[in-house]
Amino acid sequence: MHTSQHVQPGQRDKAVIALLLIGFITLFFTPQIASLFTPDLNDRLLSPEANQSSRWRENFSTYFISICLEAGPFMALGALAAALIETFVPAGLLPRLANRLGVWGIPAVVLAAPLFPVCECGVVPVVRRLLGKGLPLPHAIAYLLAAPIFNPVVLTGVWIAYFRDPIYPFLRGLGGVMVALAVAFLFLRMAKSRAVKARFLSGHDHPHIPIHTAPHDHSHDANCGCGHDHGPKTGRLSALMIHVREDFLEMTPYFLFGVFLAACMKTFIGQTTLFELGEGPIMGPAVMMAAAFIMSLCSEADAFVSASFVEFDVGAHMAFLVLGPMLDIKLLAMYRTVFHTRFIVQLSLTIIAMVSLYVVFVNLVAWNWLDTLFGLEM
């Protein structure tokens, strides 16, 4: 006897997210419950800007809306880029290229990242599709980590934010490439099935497409690899829109939950507390990495925030600028749509370790070398 207990991938996660958000909304709109934030608790927990129970809701709303407005459009662009890959890239192309290049395919993916500029708000949907197309795990990790940094739009923003000083975009771009390559090579021997959810192993990531919108006649003319008959022109456009909708709706709950967590952290943890802790060559980069993780800024705008932290040295600034696009609160939630939890923990710890090593390299080697070459002063 066989009982059908099929659960859609991610359905349990979305149920938990919904319950948590409903609970917080109840707290948010119930003054009687909000009054439980007593002055004593506010003094110990809340930031100075939110030390009144009537203010924390205003601050939370501001942070939540601002992050959504900042990152939402780029997530939509990422969904569009992912849909273009799914619809127009032949199913066997990426595996063939990866097999032909071998281990050299990893740096090739990193160097190709500027040709497809996407920030971290939109890179996860793209990586989902690349994995579904058969791109090996280390290649996908390299693109996932490098693309939001080794990006002409992002590096131009760094150049402008740091008063047109070319050293900062150079160091950030170098850090993005070095960390992405190091992390990718560290996971070179890991089996794809241990890291990636099962539905991305076969290239059929279409759990939400209605049958009547994507008929299964398995036409040989359809080269997106999903098994749907997309037709020559109108069918392709329809398939493109279906994929955009699918990716966007699949990522949105995780994205909103990540934004929710980031807004809570920014509301209830005072930034002045972080700055007070950030003294010295060790605590400075550590605090800046924590700030990047909590703030969850888009990589196309985070340099303007980082440049305002004049109390920190260049190593701490690189810790903020390199770690943020690779690992923050909203990204952790979005990684859940692609990777297993165990792998996410391993990936997160590896990213932190490699960024820390890069900061040491900047402080001990790179900055002195640049100082000698360009006559700069630290």
What residues make up the domain containing 210? 55-374
The closest of 244, 249, 254 to 328, measured between CA atoms, is 254
Is residue 40 domain-resident?
no
Please state the rounded mean pLDDT for residues 296-323. Answer: 85
**Does residue 185 form part of some domain?**
yes
- Categorize the per-residue pLDDT at 333 as very low, low, confident or very high, splitting at 50, 70 and 90: confident
Residue 28 domain flag: no
pLDDT band at 96 (very low <50, low <70, confident <90, very high): confident
What is the pLDDT confidence band of residue 188, given thresholds at 50, 70 and 90?
very high
φ/ψ of 85, rounded to 5, equals -65, -45
In a domain, 345, yes or no: yes
3-state secondary structure of 196: strand
* Model pLDDT, residue 342: 95
Helix, strand, or coil (residue 108):
helix
CA 49 to chain centre: 28
Would you give the distance in Å from CA 324 to the centre of its chain? 8
Structural domain includes residue 118: yes
Return the pLDDT at 174.
95
C-alpha–C-alpha distance, residues 224 and 370, integer Å: 46
Is a pLDDT exceeding 50 seen at residue 207?
no
d(CA 68, CA 252): 11
Residue at 196 is within a domain: yes
* Residues present in the chain in total: 378
CA-wise closest residue to 122 among 248, 273, 270:
248
- Minimal CA–CA distance to 247: which of 347, 120, 338, 151? 338
Determine which helix (DSSP H) or strand (DSSP E) holds 239, and give its type and residue range: helix 234-268
Q: Does the pLDDT at position 110 exceed 80?
A: yes
**Does 335 have pLDDT greater than 60?**
yes
pLDDT greater than 90 at residue 199: no
Number of domains, the chain: 1
- Residue 330 pLDDT level (bands cut at 50, 70, 90): confident
- pLDDT for the residue numbered 202: 55
Query: Residue 36: what pLDDT?
Result: 59
Residues 121, 266: contact at Cβ < 8 Å? no
Domain assignment present for 37: no
In a domain, 237, yes or no: yes
Q: Is residue 257 predicted with pLDDT exceeding 90?
A: no
